[in-house]
Amino acid sequence: MAELPQLRLVTPPTADGSATRRPSTARRGMRPGRIVSVGGGKGGVGKSLVAASLGIELARRGCRVVLVDCDLGGANLHTSLGIDPPRRTLSEFVNHSVERIEEILVPTGIPNLSLVSGALDHLDAASPSHGQKMRLIRHLQSMEADFAILDLAAGTQKNTLDFFLLADHKVLVLAPEHSAVENAHRFVKAAFWRRLRAASSIFGVANLLDEFLDGGRFRGPAEVLDAIQGADEEAGRQLREQMAAFRPGLVVNQVRTPEDAELGPGVAAAWRRHFGIDMDVLGAVEYDDDVWRAARERRPLLLARSESRASRSLVRIASVIQELDALAETGR
């Protein structure tokens, strides 16, 4: 199946505690870069704000960060960063005008932070072919940076799901409103099935999965995994191991009340309870007029209003991501 390379298999830590890393970086003898994807299904919930803020904060802490605008049809991450639409964009990479993704990095004026703009001039480039997408993914995974942060488009388009799935940190942004929650649920379901399908092909149980799904008698992921394991113990076990790494991290934006702040844990509990899928609650961002004030000034929130409540929430989320990394690193 042609879709496979995007799926980074999870390797349990070896006896000496070291997990298998991407070979390119292992050879260079450095810590591999982490990919953070920021998605959420619905537009306007604050994906770009979260992506830009995480980028700025991690860069301020001395990490080399590349922000990648993966909203190929409606790229505007540069605006969140307060810079003009860059001349160099993913167009050049997608059209093979440049060899390496590093060649289209544009500086952001913030030390350690650069941007790959998704603003595309050609309409057809907004939906790259499979080959173009896979090349982009390969380059993202081997980029020389501590963090690549992908700002995803709204919706559940295949490319968007794939960019979400390839990340080490799958950040899901939602707001305390019904349409945002609905889209977040839809997004997670779509992403989960896409990953399960790809993993099933690897372990040779794709037919089994189709058979079960066509039967239509399954309620959710946990039941399907049970059924596959019942039919093929070894494949089912490996599939489970892979799917355990499907672990979105929730960020609830625009929190106005204590009840709003409970939405993250609530959504995580509902998913665990009903589908057996674990999520991390990365944090909540308080509703804050400073967010639009900074946007109106065309300056990044963290720089324009560093003491605002929203800024402080976002800084904490950056800490949580680093803590999760530290945990993964020690193989706990």
Binding site for another protein (CB under 8 A): 10-13, 19, 168-169, 176-178, 181-182, 185-186, 219-220, 222-223, 226, 237, 240-245, 247, 249, 257-258, 261-263, 265-274, 276, 278-284, 309, 316, 319-320, 323-324, 327-328, 331-332
Task: In whole angstroms, give the CA distance from residue 104 to residue 90.
Answer: 7
Task: In whole angstroms, give the CA distance from residue 200 to residue 206.
Answer: 5
Question: Shortest Cβ distance from residue 145 to another protein (Å)?
Answer: 19
Choice between 83 and 154, CB closer to another protein: 154
- Beta bridge partners, 151, equal 38, 69
Choice between 26 and 269, CB closer to another protein: 269
Residues 6+ apart with CB under 8 A from 235: 203, 204, 205, 208, 228, 229
Judge contact between 263 and 329, C-beta under 8 A. no
Which is it for strands 147-151 and 113-116: parallel, antiparallel or unpaired?
unpaired
Choice between 92 and 223, CB closer to another protein: 223
Choice between 117 and 238, CB closer to another protein: 238
Question: Shortest Cβ distance from residue 208 to another protein (Å)?
Answer: 18
Choice between 113 and 302, CB closer to another protein: 302
Question: Shortest Cβ distance from residue 331 to another protein (Å)?
Answer: 7
Question: Shortest Cβ distance from residue 243 to another protein (Å)?
Answer: 7
Question: Shortest Cβ distance from residue 51 to another protein (Å)?
Answer: 18
How is 26-74 classified by DSSP, letter by letter?
A: HHHTSPPPEEEEEE-SSTTSSHHHHHHHHHHHHHHTT--EEEEE--TTS
